[in-house]
């Protein structure tokens, strides 16, 4: 049942604030008293799958000093009943809560063997998560529309490899090779890449619209006719690719690797004290609402296509392929596993060829959504709710093509992936 929140503090109780602090301070038994707390909604870009806030808890330590403790909070939508209904019906928020509670809690957390690759979560409810505020440790999201360079991608692949290694450690070392996909099915089921997901299928139609009206291949009448008559069937192959694999070794994959779902620590200029966004020193992955149990090639392609331009991919693809595989092998060795016995190089390369379409189509869908001008969707949701849901669930073509024509960045990034997808599916040259 939807109850519109009049006071955001009602999202959490003072007893739960105590639980958050105790879970976050496992290294100390010092006593404290919660004096008060405040929940402040984070403004800006709309979160489609939830709403975000900061939780600030003021405590009094045992010697009388006071301290403000800040945490990041995400919860089911509480300002829009339709949005909440959609998220609850699909189960994405509960899926992530279960992933933290039942799955990630079993991943190896020995700091001598496992690097930090995700935020710590201190309170888990099916409708609310409270986790560490990564910004207090210097983590920042990339600036909007800033291109990712080689250093960014290497850090992302390192964190991705660590996540995958922890998954394999759980499966091989702790669960006697029982497949995680069946053991943890309640949190690793499909929520997005489905024929009955309106959000997803509308996104595929957006790709086709760009292919027919914006791509260079549509200038060729023969090619355009083939796109019009064959593309839907070719794109439908993605559904089979999302089925559990008996052919390749699988891991827990993230998939939702667009630019807002990772945070970095960056070098600072020694003299100026300013942040150098081109020089990341570490990366943390966030938001696991669409995690699945699939071959690691799925995450590799999602990262490649969602975060880089084609010229960059062409230059560094081989480098990234080898780096990811070598890094995964190193992470597995620390966990007493041999990558050659689990995921031989030949199998990994074969899986990359098999799953490439996933990255191509998923990037076409997401880039048409997340690369819209900042706050466009938030403003649309606020000012014209009907148009917002029309765009999300019925038809994106008009808005996509409007920004395709007038926004160079939006156009270039979409064409970058759509034309490569056409070449892959149709063998156009």
Domain boundary pick from 81, 112, 132: 132
Instruction: Please indicate, yes or no, whether residues 173 and 113 belong to a single structural domain of this protein.
Output: no
Contact 125, 135 (CB under 8 A): no
User: What does the pLDDT read at residue 154?
Assistant: 98
pLDDT tens digits, 85-130: 888 888 889 999 999 999 999 999 999 999 999 999 999 999 999 9
User: What does the pLDDT read at residue 79?
Assistant: 79
- Report the alpha-carbon distance of residue 351 to residue 248 in Å, rounded: 7
Instruction: Please indicate, yes or no, whether residues 122 and 161 belong to a single structural domain of this protein.
Output: no
User: What does the pLDDT read at residue 6?
Assistant: 61
- Report the alpha-carbon distance of residue 367 to residue 259 in Å, rounded: 10
Q: Is 249 helix (H, G, I), strand (E, B) or coil?
A: coil
Nearest to 253 by CA among 265, 270, 271, 241: 241
- Report the alpha-carbon distance of residue 293 to residue 93 in Å, rounded: 17
Q: Is 75 helix (H, G, I), strand (E, B) or coil?
A: strand
pLDDT tens digits, 317-365: 999 999 999 999 999 999 999 999 999 999 999 999 999 999 999 999 9
User: What does the pLDDT read at residue 415?
Assistant: 97
Query: DSSP assignment, residue 279?
Result: E
Nearest to 210 by CA among 358, 369, 393: 369
Whether 270 has a pLDDT exceeding 80, the answer reads no
Instruction: Please indicate, yes or no, whether residues 255 and 175 belong to a single structural domain of this protein.
Output: yes
In this structure, what are the phi and psi dihedrals at residue 380, rounded to the nearest 5 degrees?
-65, -40
Domain boundary pick from 99, 132, 165: 132
Contact 189, 95 (CB under 8 A): yes
Domain count, the chain: 2
Instruction: Please indicate, yes or no, whether residues 187 and 315 belong to a single structural domain of this protein.
Output: yes
When pLDDT is cut at 50, 70 and 90, the band that residue 9 belongs to is very high
pLDDT tens digits, 360-390: 999 999 999 999 998 899 899 889 999 999 9
Instruction: Please indicate, yes or no, whether residues 151 and 125 belong to a single structural domain of this protein.
Output: no
Instruction: Please indicate, yes or no, whether residues 164 and 281 belong to a single structural domain of this protein.
Output: yes
Domain boundary pick from 109, 132, 155: 132
When pLDDT is cut at 50, 70 and 90, the band that residue 1 belongs to is very low
Task: Establish if 175 belongs to a structural domain.
Answer: yes
Task: Establish if 137 belongs to a structural domain.
Answer: no
pLDDT tens digits, 156-174: 999 999 999 999 999 999 9
Instruction: Please indicate, yes or no, whether residues 223 and 328 belong to a single structural domain of this protein.
Output: yes
Name residues whose C-beta falls within 8 Å of residue 329's C-beta, 6 or more positions apart in sequence: 339
Contact 380, 327 (CB under 8 A): no
Segments of 7-162 assigned E as strands: 32-41, 51-61, 66-75, 121-125, 128-132
Instruction: Please indicate, yes or no, whether residues 308 and 275 belong to a single structural domain of this protein.
Output: yes
Burial class (CB in 10 A: 0-12, 13-18, 19+), 15: exposed
Within the chain, how many helices (H) and strands (E) appear? Answer: 17, 9
- Report the alpha-carbon distance of residue 302 to residue 145 in Å, rounded: 17
Contact 195, 359 (CB under 8 A): no
What is the percent of the chain with per-residue pLDDT over 70, rounded to a whole number? 97
**Across residues 290-314, what is the average pLDDT?**
98
Q: Which domain holds residue 394?
A: 142-426
Q: Is 366 helix (H, G, I), strand (E, B) or coil?
A: helix
Contact 349, 297 (CB under 8 A): no
What is the rounded average pLDDT for all residues in the chain?
Answer: 94
Task: Establish if 329 belongs to a structural domain.
Answer: yes
Instruction: Please indicate, yes or no, whether residues 169 and 309 belong to a single structural domain of this protein.
Output: yes
Element housing 277 (H / E): strand 275-285
- Report the alpha-carbon distance of residue 264 to residue 203 in Å, rounded: 29
């Amino acid at each position: 049942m939807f109850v519109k929140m009049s006071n955001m503090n009602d999202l959490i109780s003072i007893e739960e604030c105590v639980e958050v602090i105790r879970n976050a301070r496992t290294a100390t038994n010092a006593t404290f008293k919660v004096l008060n707390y405040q929940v402040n909604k984070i403004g800006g870009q709309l979160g489609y799958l939830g709403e975000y806030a900061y939780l600030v808890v003021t405590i009094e330590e045992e010697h009388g000093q006071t301290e403000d403790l800040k945490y990041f909070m995400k919860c089911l939508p509480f300002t829009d009943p339709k949005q909440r209904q959609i998220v609850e019906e699909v189960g994405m928020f509960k899926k992530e809560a279960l992933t933290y509670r039942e799955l990630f809690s079993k991943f190896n957390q020995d700091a001598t063997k496992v690097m930090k690759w995700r935020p710590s979560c201190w309170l888990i409810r099916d409708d609310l998560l409270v986790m560490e505020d990564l910004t207090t440790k210097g983590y920042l999201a990339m600036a909007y529309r800033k291109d990712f360079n080689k250093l960014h991608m290497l850090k992302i692949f390192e964190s991705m490899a660590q996540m995958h290694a922890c998954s394999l450690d759980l499966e091989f070392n702790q669960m006697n090779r029982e497949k995680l996909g069946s053991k943890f099915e309640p949190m690793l089921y499909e929520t997005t890449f489905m024929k009955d997901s309106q959000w997803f299928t509308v996104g595929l139609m957006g790709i086709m619209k760009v292919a027919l009206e914006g791509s260079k291949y549509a200038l060729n009448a023969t090619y355009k006719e083939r796109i019009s008559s064959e593309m839907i069937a070719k794109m439908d192959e993605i559904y089979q690719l999302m089925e559990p694999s008996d052919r390749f070794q699988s891991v827990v994959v993230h998939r939702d690797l667009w630019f807002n779902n990772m945070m970095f620590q960056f070098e600072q200029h020694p003299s100026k004290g300013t942040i150098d966004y081109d020089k990341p020193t570490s990366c943390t992955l966030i938001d696991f609402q669409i995690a699945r149990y699939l071959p690691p090639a799925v995450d590799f392609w999602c990262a490649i296509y969602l975060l880089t331009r084609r010229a960059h991919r062409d230059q560094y693809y081989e480098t990234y392929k080898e780096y990811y595989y070598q890094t995964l092998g190193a992470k597995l060795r620390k966990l007493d596993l041999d990558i050659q016995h689990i995921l031989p190089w030949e199998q990994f390369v074969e899986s990359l060829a098999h799953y490439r379409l996933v990255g191509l189509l998923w990037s076409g869908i997401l880039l048409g959504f997340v690369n819209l001008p900042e706050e466009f969707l938030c403003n649309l949701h606020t000012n014209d709710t009907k148009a917002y849901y029309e765009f999300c669930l019925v038809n994106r073509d008009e808005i996509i093509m409007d920004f395709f024509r007038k926004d160079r960045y939006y156009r270039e990034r979409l064409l970058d992936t759509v034309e490569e997808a056409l070449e892959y599916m149709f063998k156009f040259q």
